[in-house]
Amino acid sequence: MSLYSGYIDKLIDELAALPGIGGKSAQRLAFHLIHLPKDKVKRLADAILDARENVRYCKECFTLTDSDVCPVCANKNRNHKMIMVVENARDLAAYEKTGRYEGVYHVLHGAISPMLGIGPGDIRLKELLQRLQGDVEEVIIATNSSLEGETTAMYISKMIKPTGIRVTRIASGVPVGGDLEYIDEVTLLRALEGRVEL
């Protein structure tokens, strides 16, 4: 049985389909949106459509951007000889919030997970290897401390070690099973500064 009109139910269903939004949150958001002035709702809808149509992957690090190269990769003041490998763009944003990392990134868009059928060919490892053909001195592996993150870190380490490029892993301090995007900046900074050789 429908509790509200078809339009409200449809809005709630669409919002509830978003990650991290449950039924109650979707209902709260739907009622909030319905009570907003039409111009604010239109701005939100336009922002969503504009982002969906214009956001793409950076040609160098594969984070999300609305230009060919993201602001981090385009910054000549960054250390392009140091690449931090992260699982997703949210992890990149978490490290950028520390304001202390001066290198560049490589976004894998996932982690190796045989249980989920995700292998090395399903994430951006080939592109990472291509980047290593340039002048790179260190690769910092900053994947999550989950089984998948550790598996990915070990795979990357074994892949890069023969090239002679220094490979490090962020230090503990990030809880096992924790996602980087939810960790505070101080913990992330300590993990970065305490990284170890693999």
Query: What is residue 6's predicted lDDT score, i.e. its pLDDT?
Result: 85
Query: Length of the chain in residues, anyone?
Result: 198
Q: What is the pLDDT of residue 72?
A: 96
Asked if residues 57 and 63 have their Cβ atoms less than 8 Å apart, the reply is yes
Q: Give me the pLDDT at residue 1, please.
A: 47
Domain range 6-54, CATH architecture: Orthogonal Bundle (1.10)
**64-197 maps to CATH 3.40.1360.10:** yes
Where does residue 55 rank: exposed (0-12), middle (13-18), buried (19+ CB within 10 A)?
Answer: exposed
What is the model's pLDDT at position 106?
A: 97
DSSP string for 55-69: -EE-TTT--EESSSS
Strand order in the sheet with 103-107: 103-107, 79-86, 138-141, 166-169, 196-197
Note down pLDDT in tens along the chain; length 198 residues.
466 678 999 999 999 999 999 999 999 999 999 999 999 999 999 999 999 999 999 999 999 999 999 999 999 999 999 999 999 999 999 999 988 999 999 999 999 998 899 999 999 999 999 999 989 999 999 998 788 988 999 999 999 999 999 999 887 666 666 677 777 776 777 677 777 677
Ranges of H-type helices in 55-146: 71-74, 89-98, 125-131
What residue segments make up the domains of the chain, in order of their start?
6-54, 64-197
